[in-house]
Amino acid sequence: MTECVFCKIVARQIPATVVFEDEAVLAFMDIGQVNPGHALVACKAHVENVYALDDAQAAAVARAVARIARGIREAFAAEGLSVYQANGKAAGQTVMHYHVHLVPRAEGDGMNLTWPVKNPPRAKLEEYAARIRARLA
Q: Is 30 in the site for ligand 5GP (CB under 6 A)?
A: yes
Q: Is 58 in the site for ligand 5GP (CB under 6 A)?
A: no
3-state secondary structure at position 65? helix
Q: Which listed residue (4, 86, 105, 111) binds ligand 5GP by CB under 6 A?
A: 86
Closest residue to ligand 5GP using C-beta atoms: 32
58 is in the binding site of which of Zn ion, ligand 5GP, none (Cβ under 5 to 8 A by kind)? none
Query: For 61, which DSSP code?
Result: H
Q: How far apart (Å, rounded) are the C-alpha atoms in residues 101 and 108?
A: 19
Q: Segment near ligand 5GP (CB under 6 A), from 28-36, 42-50, 69-77, 109-117?
A: 28-36
- For residue 124, give Cα distances in angstroms to 49, 121, 127, 137: 28, 6, 5, 21
Q: Are 70 and 78 in contact (CB under 8 A)?
A: no
Q: How far apart (Å, rounded) are the C-alpha atoms in residues 44 and 47?
A: 8
Q: Is 50 in the site for Zn ion (CB under 5 A)?
A: no
Q: Least distance in Å: CB of 60 to Zn ion?
A: 16
Q: How far apart (Å, rounded) are the C-alpha atoms in residues 132 and 135?
A: 5
Measured in whole angstroms, the distance separating CA 58 from the mean position of its chain's CA atoms is 11
94 is in the binding site of which of ligand 5GP, Zn ion, none (Cβ under 5 to 8 A by kind)? ligand 5GP
Q: Which listed residue (94, 112, 114, 119) binds ligand 5GP by CB under 6 A?
A: 94
- Judged by the rule CB under 6 A, the positions of this chain that interact with ligand 5GP are 5, 16, 28-32, 86, 92-95
